[in-house]
Structure 1
Amino acid sequence: MLQDFSIGIGTRFVFGRDAHNRIGKELKQMGIRKVLIHYGSRKRLSDSGLLGSVKEQLRLHGIRILELGGVVPNPRLSLVREGIHLARKEKVDMILAVGGGSVIDSAKAIGLGAVADTDVWDFFTGTEVPGKSLPTGVILTYPAAGSESSEVSVINNTELGMKLLASHPVIRPAIAFMNPELTYSLPKFLTACGVTDMFSHVCERYFTPDGEVGVIDRMAEGILKTLAEIGPKVLAEPDNYSYRAEIMWISTIAHNDTVGVGRVQDWAVHEIGNELSALYDTPHGATLSIIMGSWMRYVYREAPERFARYAGEVFGVKWNRKNTLEAAYEGILKTEEFFRTMGMPVSFEEFQVPTDGVEQMLDRIAFRGEDDSIGGIKRLNRDDCRKIYETALKSRRTTSE
């Protein structure tokens, strides 16, 4: 049954070939006069011509420009604070992210902090609740995290060794420019990480303790099946506009709660995986592919029909009530096979992640509630999470056990 919910996706999407060339006109109509352009590598954006093109469009429409580069994967709180200082000093009225999830999350955090009366990290620890933000604009160059329309920002505090999120509707970007052609030059590994992130975002919502919600379940299954089908194809044909366009839009709907409304969501895979990023700076997509199969093995008996249905609808596994457990497990193997087809690791060993930090990572997971646990489909305490990490340490067979 669909539970009560409230949602407002206030992001305006400008999608298609040359979408980014409309930025000056669109921002002027929004009343924007001065922007802070936020990005990762200035050289990469300059060499591609994108940064120059964006600046030209803004100047043609009378919009003044400041720049702050240097965002890295698992975006750093230190750069966020630098951006907040700059935004306040120069009185900018929009943070414009040019990049993917890390850049967008950093821009969102700057927007929050620029108008806050408290330190921005307080929003991530939960000490303070966001109430307002400078508007964020996005030119998406790396579809993955769905941050271009989500209400979440994830920031890495390297001083404390903590990677935390803030979530509130005011964080959603005001406008997103989405041109699939800008993603043609993405390296294969980054593309694969992006597809993995999208896949996981849907799974975190699909694997729920709630009963069936027909329309939401079918939407989620359709997204997952599409990713499983075209993920490997986009790696083989990186200049295929159709594949890139589907991937770009899926990144958005996978994480703006289109397929998550009205149900309990899980998020254990992200919470467990995020500690790999916090401790070892492991790419986010790789943390998810490493943890997901181990998490599935640990929890699938809690809801075997849900996992069997997933196996059938996404990967075509035949199942009925007599072989529910076997089909559910086959779906787990198919999931890991899909990740490997994309060139993604499914264990610490396959990505050469150190295996001696399990207790340190467990110390940092934000267990909560009366049961001091995380997760939805199965509540996981510290010992549960330890077992999941331990299962993920070594490579596993991809045939039935």
Structure 2
Amino acid sequence: MLKDFNLCIDTKFVFGKDAQNQIGSELKQMGIRKVLIHHDDGKFLYDTGLLDQVKEQLKKEGIETLELGGVLPNPRLSLVKEGIFLAKEEHADMVLAIGGGSVIDSAKAIGLGAVTDIDVWDFFTGTEVPKKSLPTGVILTCPATGSESSEVSVINNTEIGMKLLVSNPILRPAIAFMNPELTCSLPKFLTACGVVDMFSHVCERYFSPDGEIGVIDRMSEGILKTLVEVGPKVLADPDNYSYRAEIMWIGTIAHNDTVGIGRIQDWATHEIGNELSALYDTPHGATLSIIMGSWMRYVYKEDPKRFARYAKEVFGVDWNGDNTLEAAYKGILKTEEFFRSMGMPVSFEDFRIPTDEVEKMLDQIAFRGEDDSIGGIKRLNRDDCRSIYKMAFSFRKTDE
């Protein structure tokens, strides 16, 4: 049954070819006067002239700009604090992210910290609750996280080895410029990481203890099936505008709660995988492909019919109602086969990640509630998560 919910996706989307060329006129209409442009200093920004084009578009409309580059994957708190200082010192009234999820998340955190004297990390630890923020804008160049319209920012505090998130509706960007052509030159690995992230965002919502919700489930299955079909095609034909456009929009709807409303969500795969990013700086999409199959193996017997339905609707596995466990398990194997077909790792071994720091990662997971656990479809405590890490050490096609 669909539970009660409140949802406001207050992001304006400007989607299509040359969408970024509308930035000056759009921000002028919003009353923006000075923009802090935030990016990763990527070669792409300079080789394509995108950064200069954006500055010129803003200059034409009388909008001042300042700039802060240097964002890394798993964005750093230290750079966020540098951006907060700059935004305050120069009286910026918008933070504009040019890039993907890491840049956008960093920009959101800067926006939070720029309007308060509270230490921005306190919002991520839950010590403080966000009440206001500078508006953020996005020119999306790497679709993956859906951060261009989500209410989430994830930041890595390297000083203490913790990667935490803050979730609040005020973090949704005010406007997102989305031109699929800007993604055509993305390396295959980054494209594949993005597809895995989108896939996981839907699965975290689909595998719910709440049972069937017809329209939401069918939307989720449609998204997942499309990713399975289009993902390999976009790797084989990276300049195909149609494929890039589908992938870009899926990244958005996979994480702005369009398919997550009205139900308990899981998020254990993300919480377990994030510790690989925090400790080893592993790319986010790779942490998800490494953990997801093992998480599925560990929990699928809690609701085998849900996993069997997933196997049937997403991967075409035959399920007649009598072979539920078999069908469910085939769906898990198909999931890992899909990730591997995209060149993504499905184990620590695949990505040469050490296996001797599991306890350190477990120390950082934010277990909570009366049961001191995480997850939705199955509550997972420290021992459960340890087992999932160990299952993910090396690829296993069948149960031992």
TM above 0.5: yes
For residues 331 and 44 of structure 1, what CA distance do their matches in structure 2 show? 38
Query: 1:38-81 CA deviation, whole Å, 9 max, x = no partner?
Result: 00015431122100110110001100000000000000000000
Residue 197 of structure 2 aligns with which residue?
Answer: 197
Residue 318 of structure 2 aligns with which residue?
Answer: 318
Query: 1:341-393 CA deviation, whole Å, 9 max, x = no partner?
Result: 00000000000011111010000000000000000000000000000000000
Residue 240 of structure 1 aligns with which residue?
Answer: 240
Q: How does 1:301-340 map to 2 (within 5 A)?
A: 301-340=301-340
AA paired with 1:157? N
For residues 342 and 130 of structure 1, what CA distance do their matches in structure 2 show? 38
- The 10-residue stretch of structure 1 (76-85 or 110-119) with the greater mean CA deviation from structure 2: 110-119
Q: Please report the TM-score for the alignment, with normalisation by the length of structure 1.
A: 0.99
For residues 387 and 180 of structure 1, what CA distance do their matches in structure 2 show? 40
Residue 172 of structure 2 aligns with which residue?
Answer: 172
Question: What is the CA-CA distance between 1:156 and the residue it aligns to?
Answer: 0.1
Residue 300 of structure 1 aligns with which residue?
Answer: 300
Residue 159 of structure 1 aligns with which residue?
Answer: 159
Query: 1:217-271 CA deviation, whole Å, 9 max, x = no partner?
Result: 0000000000000100000000000000000000000000000000000000000
AA paired with 1:287? T
Q: How does 1:117-128 map to 2 (within 5 A)?
A: 117-128=117-128
Question: What is the CA-CA distance between 1:322 and the residue it aligns to?
Answer: 1.0
CA distance 1:306–1:42, shift in 2 (3 Å): closer
Q: Please report the TM-score for the alignment, with normalisation by the length of structure 2.
A: 0.99
Query: 1:84-117 CA deviation, whole Å, 9 max, x = no partner?
Result: 0000000000000000000000000000000023
Secondary structure of the residue aligned to 2:144 is coil
- The 10-residue stretch of structure 1 (40-49 or 356-365) with the greater mean CA deviation from structure 2: 40-49
Question: What is the CA-CA distance between 1:321 and the residue it aligns to?
Answer: 2.1
- The 10-residue stretch of structure 1 (42-51 or 315-324) with the greater mean CA deviation from structure 2: 42-51
Check whether the contact 1:37–1:68 (CA below 8 A) recurs between aligned residues: yes
Secondary structure of the residue aligned to 2:323 is helix
For residues 93 and 243 of structure 2, what CA distance do their matches in structure 1 show? 35
Residue 133 of structure 2 aligns with which residue?
Answer: 133
Check whether the contact 1:330–1:400 (CA below 8 A) recurs between aligned residues: no
AA paired with 1:177? F
Q: How does 1:370-389 map to 2 (within 5 A)?
A: 370-389=370-389
Residue 222 of structure 1 aligns with which residue?
Answer: 222
AA paired with 1:34? K
Question: What is the CA-CA distance between 1:277 and the residue it aligns to?
Answer: 0.1
Say whether 1:274 aligns with 2:274.
Answer: yes
Residue 17 of structure 1 aligns with which residue?
Answer: 17
For residues 235 and 110 of structure 1, what CA distance do their matches in structure 2 show? 34
For residues 353 and 257 of structure 1, what CA distance do their matches in structure 2 show? 32
AA paired with 1:365? I
AA paired with 2:72? V
For residues 42 and 51 of structure 1, what CA distance do their matches in structure 2 show? 10
For residues 42 and 32 of structure 1, what CA distance do their matches in structure 2 show? 26
State how many pairs are aligned.
400
Question: What is the CA-CA distance between 1:320 and the residue it aligns to?
Answer: 2.1
Check whether the contact 1:96–1:107 (CA below 8 A) recurs between aligned residues: yes
AA paired with 1:234? V
Q: How does 1:32-181 map to 2 (within 5 A)?
A: 32-41=32-41, 43-181=43-181
Check whether the contact 1:368–1:374 (CA below 8 A) recurs between aligned residues: yes
Secondary structure of the residue aligned to 1:322 is coil
Say whether 1:260 aligns with 2:267.
Answer: no
For residues 44 and 207 of structure 2, what CA distance do their matches in structure 1 show? 39
For residues 65 and 18 of structure 1, what CA distance do their matches in structure 2 show? 21
AA paired with 1:307? F
AA paired with 2:90? E
Secondary structure of the residue aligned to 2:322 is helix
For residues 24 and 41 of structure 1, what CA distance do their matches in structure 2 show? 21
Query: 1:148-187 CA deviation, whole Å, 9 max, x = no partner?
Result: 0000000000001000000000000000000000000000
- The 10-residue stretch of structure 1 (40-49 or 133-142) with the greater mean CA deviation from structure 2: 40-49
For residues 377 and 48 of structure 1, what CA distance do their matches in structure 2 show? 45
For residues 171 and 184 of structure 1, what CA distance do their matches in structure 2 show? 28
Question: What is the CA-CA distance between 1:400 and the residue it aligns to?
Answer: 7.8
For residues 267 and 259 of structure 1, what CA distance do their matches in structure 2 show? 14
Check whether the contact 1:197–1:284 (CA below 8 A) recurs between aligned residues: yes
* Structure 1 outlier segments of 4+, above 4 Å: none
Check whether the contact 1:333–1:400 (CA below 8 A) recurs between aligned residues: no
AA paired with 2:83? G
Residue 284 of structure 2 aligns with which residue?
Answer: 284
- Consecutive unaligned residues in structure 1, runs of 5 or more: none
AA paired with 2:393? L
Residue 395 of structure 2 aligns with which residue?
Answer: 395
Say whether 1:366 aligns with 2:400.
Answer: no
Query: 1:2-47 CA deviation, whole Å, 9 max, x = no partner?
Result: 0000010000000000000000000000000000000001543112
For residues 213 and 351 of structure 1, what CA distance do their matches in structure 2 show? 37
Secondary structure of the residue aligned to 1:321 is coil
